[in-house]
Amino acid sequence: MRKISMREAINEALHTAFNSDPSVFSIGEDIAVYGGQLRCSYDLIQNFGEKRIMDTPISEAAIIGTAIGSSMLGLRPVVEISYIDFIGTCFDQIMNQAAKLRYMYGGRVSLPLVIRTQGGAGLGNGAQHSQSLEAIFAHIPGIRVVIPSNAYDAKGLLLHAIRDNNPVVFIEHKGLYKKKCEVPEEPYECGYNCDIKREGSDITIVAYSSMVDQSLRAAKELEKEGIQAEVIDVRSLEPFDADTIISSVSKTGHAVIAHEACVKGGFGAEIAAVIQEKAFDKLKEPVKRVGAPNVPVPFAPVLEKAYLPDYKDILDAAHSCL
């Protein structure tokens, strides 16, 4: 099977969505002529025209407001916010409008909109362009929060999100865009459930986004020591598939949770709480969390490297609870 990058997989998913549904359109800053800061919409205007691919002024609030209104009228907007860090400028639209209106109208309206954005550090983008803010969205009832770790999942999850009748925040990690894996040419969808990337019987490593690769690398190192780690990819923070994680932890009795976001207030705390509530009697040791320190993302390369958690941190956490 062919291998393509996550950027190509997302572009392919967008082509499929645009070809299969004339109500799908996309707006954002520099997404049309330039192809977007994320470079995933690089050929959409040539294929689908200026009425469906539109550049906007530099106003995230206007982008999200347009998406909300048009989705309530029956369209399916896929809008782009260049960096997740810019969400602060349109947070009211997301938190108090997109997340609430279907509930406030008693289900009589749908908001089938997707907000694509990028997060994460590692490319020297500095403190204001490198944050991992997914936990903030997961705390707001009424929106989906999807966060793929590879090209295959990105294509299937994006198609699933575009066809969802609820608002979806779709978070892509900037460090994964060039990473390639096997991706079918035909359209397919991935559900919002967790995906077991590696089976094991001794310890459960729960991760998402960029930390899935780091977890798989840690699992290979543990295997050299005779330790079989099960690696679970939490592809969706909301809805959250707790059952897959509980089933795994009940089998292994040990759990490490890894994400790039700061440990303090990170979504790993929610996962740990769920494990404690539903599998406490199965745990042989306390749950360990791996993440970034509670400081802004450094710009200096040597400091950014020290800031980011990696497979060595996961290994240390695994050893401490085995």
Q: What is the DSSP letter of 298?
A: P
Which residue in 12, 129, 173, 260 is the catalytic one?
129
15 annotated active-site: no
CA dist 171 and 144 (Å) reads: 11
3-state secondary structure 207-247: ECCCHHHHHHHHHHHHHHCCCCEEEEECCEEECCCHHHHHH
For residue 220, the Cα-to-chain-centroid distance in whole angstroms is 24
Per the CB < 8 A criterion, the answer to whether 111 and 101 are in contact is yes
The three-class DSSP label of residue 197 is strand
CA dist 25 and 15 (Å) reads: 11
Q: Which two tokens stand for residue 97?
A: 């409008």
Instruction: Give the H/E segment covering residue 66.
Output: helix 60-72
b/e map 214-237, b = 16+ CB within 10 Å: bbbbbbeebeeeebebbbbbbbbb
Which residue in 8, 12, 60, 80 is the catalytic one?
60
The three-class DSSP label of residue 203 is strand
186 annotated active-site: no
Q: Which two tokens stand for residue 268?
A: 């790993």
Nearest in space to 259 (alpha carbons), one of 225, 305, 215: 215
Residues that are catalytic: 60, 129
